[in-house]
Amino acid sequence: MNLNKKNIIITGGTGSFGKECVKFILKNFKPNKLVVFSRDELKQFEMDKELSDEKIKKDNLRFFLGDVRDKDRLDLAFKDIDYVIHSAALKQVPAAEYNPMEFVKTNIIGAENIIFASINNKVEKVISLSTDKAANPISLYGATKLAADKLFNAANNLSKRRPIFSVVRYGNVLGSRGSVIPFFKSYRSKKNEKIPITDKDMTRFFISVEDSVKFVLKSLNEMKGGEIFVPKIPSFKITDLAKAIVPKRKHVIIGMRPGEKIAEVLITKDESKNALEYNKHYVIYSELFSKISKKKNYNKLFEYNSSSNKNFLNVKEIQLICKKLRLI
């Protein structure tokens, strides 16, 4: 992947993924312009200071205040942009159940605005970040992300190959905002208090922020339009994560929150007929655009599920990874 001399914009650029992506690009490439698009001026100020404190050269970095709900603002921000990395979203599952229209406005209408701003400005490539919760969704959040994924896929029909649109789908990002790890860590100082667990059988996929950035940029390089890129990543039981962070502590089962699943899915059985497996990832090819998807092999249907994942971590393995990532 060569991002040198490119004009790149990252929506949601002050979030966990956005910050790590900006740092990675500035350290490894020399883009002509790298734009952080987000709606929080304080986070932009803090991010600018953090980059200065870490002595990361940022002469080509720009901050653009705006909201993906505002199509006129997006249209202005996308002027002369080559690549769009779309990570802006409302993401909290329980909050979506109680505030559905806010999630629709940001995650669905916002996606539509991204698409038309990209087409109007003749962007080269647009890659959108999705979630395992978009596969067979039962939550409002997952449903909005599935709808957004479908919009980006169909957008290849509108753009006449300029730009092209693809999606990256992965699981929980360890250490990101909203991660359960800080919550579990808080119980280290609460002596003898039981750790609340939603369900003893709950499992989740996970990926580090750094690995998610590398996978998104790799997918940006390889995309032809209409694909959903899915990394091969580990899974764990939530109870084992709690044991890894606070060993020898009792748990109390409190029940699942609205919109939650016992296990997450990255590739559904129905999607698998259009999926090809590679060394470190899968690609779900579009039924609308890809010649590969027309070679459907119904004898090899499968589901990529966090509970049946072959790469399943135990408590010790989780501890080692969390320590390596400096999360505990």
Q: Scan for tokens 């989780």, then name that residue.
A: 318
- Mean pLDDT to the nearest integer, 227-233: 97
Please check whether residue 300 lies inside any domain of the structure.
no
- C-alpha to C-alpha distances, 29 to 20, 22, 36, nearest whole angstrom: 14, 10, 16
Please check whether residue 264 lies inside any domain of the structure.
no
- Determine how many CB atoms are found less than 10 A away from the CB of residue 245: 24
Active-site entry in 6, 23, 125, 133: 133
Percent of the chain whose predicted confidence (pLDDT) is above 70: 97
- Determine how many CB atoms are found less than 10 A away from the CB of residue 247: 10
- Model confidence at 295: pLDDT above 70: no
* CATH number of the domain where residue 38 is located: 3.40.50.720
Could you read off the pLDDT of 247-290 as tens digits, one per residue? 989 999 999 999 999 999 999 999 999 999 999 999 999 988 77
C-alpha to C-alpha distance for 129 and 176, rounded to whole angstroms: 14
C-alpha to C-alpha distance for 85 and 228, rounded to whole angstroms: 14
Q: Among the ranges 87-96, 172-181, 188-197, 319-328, which has the highest mean pLDDT value?
A: 87-96
Would you say the C-alpha torsion 99, 100, 104, 105 has a positive or negative sign?
negative
Q: How confident is the model at residue 328 (pLDDT cuts 50, 70, 90)?
A: confident
Q: Of 160-164, 231-235, 314-318, give the lowest mean pLDDT range.
A: 160-164
What pLDDT, on the 0 to 100 scale, is given for residue 297? 57
Q: How confident is the model at residue 1 (pLDDT cuts 50, 70, 90)?
A: confident
Please check whether residue 84 lies inside any domain of the structure.
yes
Please check whether residue 240 lies inside any domain of the structure.
no
Please check whether residue 245 lies inside any domain of the structure.
no
Domains contained in the chain, number:
1
What pLDDT, on the 0 to 100 scale, is given for residue 39? 96
Please check whether residue 262 lies inside any domain of the structure.
no
For residue 133, indicate whether it is catalytic.
Answer: yes
What pLDDT, on the 0 to 100 scale, is given for residue 292? 65
- Determine how many CB atoms are found less than 10 A away from the CB of residue 114: 27
Please check whether residue 248 lies inside any domain of the structure.
no
- Mean pLDDT to the nearest integer, 155-159: 89
Average pLDDT along the chain: 94
Buried b (16+ CB within 10 A) or exposed e, 313-326: bebeebbebbeeee
Q: How confident is the model at residue 291 (pLDDT cuts 50, 70, 90)?
A: low
What pLDDT, on the 0 to 100 scale, is given for residue 298? 53
What pLDDT, on the 0 to 100 scale, is given for residue 192? 85
Please check whether residue 200 lies inside any domain of the structure.
no
Could you read off the pLDDT of 27-86 as tens digits, one per residue? 999 999 999 999 999 999 999 999 999 999 999 999 999 999 999 999 999 999 999 999
Domain span at residue 140 reads: 7-170+208-231
Q: Which residue has the higher pLDDT, 177 or 140?
A: 140
Q: Which two tokens stand for residue 293?
A: 């998807």
Beta strands in the chain (DSSP E): 7-11, 33-38, 61-65, 83-86, 125-131, 164-170, 172-174, 195-197, 203-208, 228-231, 235-237, 251-253, 265-267, 275-277, 281-284, 304-305
